[in-house]
């Protein structure tokens, strides 16, 4: 992502009853600007047509006096978002009270007048670029004042790891949609357990990937291709079918272990070797 750190500020805000000092950074993103340009252009064109219809409708209306016309114009002007009125020309039309074709009269002999307007218009590009400028930036905030701006952004980019974990919690395999509780205390307890489970899930994935990288090892992924960055979900799937056979309550045999299982278990260390009854290599 093409980024430019525009500003780094420290700002104090009231959070609850506590005064918490935060570090805010403002980031410019060229990619965000290009994404927003297309969306904003469509919105601007649509708003432009809407504003133009308001103006055209207003030009067809006639008013009893200029004051009434200007009051109505002020209301219309507040609704305009993408069009600016550059010039207003007032059209004055003389009228007669009696129907029928009048005889020759001068302008001074009209009974009353009706007023309307014509306009010279221009697109309000400033509002477009103001929104585009706003969409091209975003703010990151943290209460850790020791972090450098780049560290704050790197942590922000790594949020997808946490979001992927929560996607796992909401998946069908976790059966979270099959749990029905109403008590706030039980909901809080369940969220605590789910978060704790997610921490274990993420820690296991981190450890396996780190050990695979340190030992320059790989395991087959879902397509059978070697990978050093497997997901915990895939690891769990690989371990499906492993069973412990107990013979006469004295002998235990771990069944269906293959070389991939043993590699992962050895990477995790001695405690896991003991659980799966695998002898440590000398």
Q: What is the pLDDT of residue 217?
A: 92
More confident residue, 164 or 256: 256
Mean pLDDT of the chain: 82
Cα angle at 185 between 180 and 189, to 5 degrees?
Answer: 75
Pick from 23-37, 96-110, 185-199, 223-237 the range whose average pLDDT is largest: 223-237
More confident residue, 161 or 139: 139
Q: What is the pLDDT of residue 216?
A: 93
Alpha helices, H only, the chain: 30-60, 66-79, 125-135, 149-157, 159-169, 184-214, 232-238, 259-268, 270-275
pLDDT greater than 80 at residue 164: no
Q: State the pTM of this model.
A: 0.47
Q: What is the pLDDT of residue 15?
A: 54
Give the pLDDT mean for 61-83: 89
Q: What is the pLDDT of residue 261?
A: 92
% residues pLDDT > 70 (the chain): 83
Give the pLDDT mean for 67-75: 91
pLDDT tens readout for residues 9-49: 555 555 555 577 778 888 888 888 888 888 888 888 898 89
Of 12-16, 45-49, 140-144, 175-179, the least confident = 12-16
Of 47-51, 82-86, 161-165, 272-276, the least confident = 161-165
Q: Return d(Cα 150, Cα 142) in angstroms, integer.
A: 12
Q: What is the pLDDT of residue 178?
A: 65
Give the pLDDT mean for 82-105: 80
Q: What is the pLDDT of residue 1?
A: 47
More confident residue, 212 or 279: 212
pLDDT tens readout for residues 199-217: 888 888 889 999 999 999 9
Q: What is the pLDDT of residue 161?
A: 67
Expressed in percent and rounded to 5, the helix, strand and coil fractions of the chain are: 50, 25, 25
Q: What is the pLDDT of residue 154?
A: 82
pLDDT greater than 90 at residue 169: no
Cβ-count burial 132-157 (b if 16+ within 10 Å, e if not): beebbeeeeeeeeeebebeebbeeee
Q: What is the pLDDT of residue 282?
A: 45
Closest by alpha carbon to 261, among 253, 272, 271?
A: 272
pLDDT greater than 70 at residue 106: no
């Amino acid at each position: 992502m093409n980024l430019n750190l525009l500003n780094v500020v420290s700002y104090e805000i009231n959070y609850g009853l506590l005064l918490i000092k935060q570090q805010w950074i403002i980031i410019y993103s060229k990619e965000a600007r290009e994404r927003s340009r297309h969306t904003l252009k469509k919105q601007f064109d649509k708003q432009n047509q809407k504003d133009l219809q308001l103006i055209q409708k207003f030009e067809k209306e006639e008013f009893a006096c200029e004051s009434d016309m200007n009051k109505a114009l002020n209301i219309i002007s507040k609704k305009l978002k993408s069009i600016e009125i550059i010039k207003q020309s007032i059209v004055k039309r003389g009228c007669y009270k009696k129907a029928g074709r009048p005889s020759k009269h001068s302008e001074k002999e009209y009974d009353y007048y009706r007023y309307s307007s014509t306009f010279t218009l221009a697109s309000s590009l400033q509002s477009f670029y103001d929104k585009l400028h706003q969409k091209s930036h975003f703010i990151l905030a943290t209460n850790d004042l020791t972090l450098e701006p780049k560290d704050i952004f790197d942590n922000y980019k790594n949020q997808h790891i946490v979001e992927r974990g929560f996607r796992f919690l909401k998946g069908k395999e976790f059966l979270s949609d099959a749990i029905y509780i109403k008590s706030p205390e039980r909901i809080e307890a369940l969220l605590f357990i789910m978060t704790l489970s997610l921490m274990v899930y993420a820690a296991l994935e981190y450890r396996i990937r780190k050990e695979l990288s340190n030992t320059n090892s790989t395991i087959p992924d879902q397509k059978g291709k070697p990978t050093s960055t497997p997901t915990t979900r895939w690891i769990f799937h690989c371990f499906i079918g492993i069973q412990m056979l107990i013979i006469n309550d004295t002998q235990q045999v771990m069944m269906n272990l293959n070389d991939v299982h043993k590699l992962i278990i050895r990477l995790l260390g001695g405690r896991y070797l003991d659980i799966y009854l695998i002898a440590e290599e000398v």
